[in-house]
Amino acid sequence: MDIARDDQWDIVIKPKEKGIHLHLKEVWRYKDLLYLYVKRDFISAYKQTILGPLWFFIQPIFSTLIYTLVFGGIAQISTDGLPPMLFYMSGILCWNFFSDCLGRSSGTFSGNAGVFSKVYFPRLVVPIAGLASAVLKMFIQMLLFFSIYAYFLFTGSSIGVTVYILLFPLLVIMLAGIAFGVGILISSVTIKYRDLNILFSFAIGLIMYITPIIYPLSAIPAKYSAFKWVIQLNPLSSVVEAFRFGMLGTGELSWGGLLYSSIFTFIIVLLGIIVFNKVERRFIDIV
What's the burial of 281, exposed, middle or buried (CB within 10 Å: 0-12/13-18/19+)? exposed
In a domain, 4, yes or no: no
What lies within 8 Å, CB to CB, of 74 at 6+ separation is none
In-domain check, residue 9: no
Cβ–Cβ under 8 Å, residues 261 and 10: no
User: How many whole angstroms separate alpha carbon 181 and alpha carbon 276?
Assistant: 9
Residue 28 and residue 125: Cα distance in Å, rounded? 9
> How many domains are contained in the chain?
1
- Which are the contacts of 54, defined by CB distance < 8 A and separation ≥ 6? none
pLDDT value of residue 1: 46
**Is position 13 within any domain?**
no
Write down the pLDDT at residue 152.
87
Give pTM, 2 decimals.
0.85
Does residue 61 lie in a domain region?
A: yes
Closest CA to 36 of 118, 141, 115: 115
Rounded CA separation 50/28 (Å): 36
12 falls within a domain: no
Listed residue (242, 213, 262, 27) closest to 132, CA to CA: 27
Rounded to 5°, the CA angle 134-144-131 comes to: 5
Q: What secondary structure letter does DSSP report for 111?
A: T
Flag whether 216 is in a domain. Answer: yes
Q: In the prediction, which pLDDT does 237 show?
A: 93
> What distance in Å separates the CA atoms of residue 147 and residue 54, rounded to the nearest whole number?
15
Q: What is the pLDDT along the chain (287 residues), one digit of tens a residue?
A: 455 555 555 555 565 555 556 666 777 787 888 888 888 877 776 666 666 677 778 888 998 999 999 888 888 888 888 888 899 999 999 999 999 999 888 887 777 777 777 777 778 888 888 899 899 889 988 998 999 888 888 887 778 778 888 999 999 999 999 999 999 888 888 877 776 777 888 888 888 888 999 888 888 877 777 788 888 899 999 999 999 999 888 878 889 999 999 999 999 999 988 888 788 766 655 55
How big is the CA angle at 92 (ends 86 and 96), to the nearest 5 degrees? Answer: 150
Residues spanned by the domain of 212: 20-286
In a domain, 94, yes or no: yes
Residue 69 lies in a domain: yes
- Furthest-apart CA pair in the chain: how many Å? 81
Please provide the DSSP assignment of 211-243 as one string: TTTSS-GGGS-GGGHHHHHHHHHSHHHHHHHHH
Which candidate, 106, 120, 114, 123, places its Cα nearest to that of 287?
114
Q: Which amino acid is at 53?
A: P
pLDDT of residue 48: 65
d(CA 253, CA 241): 6
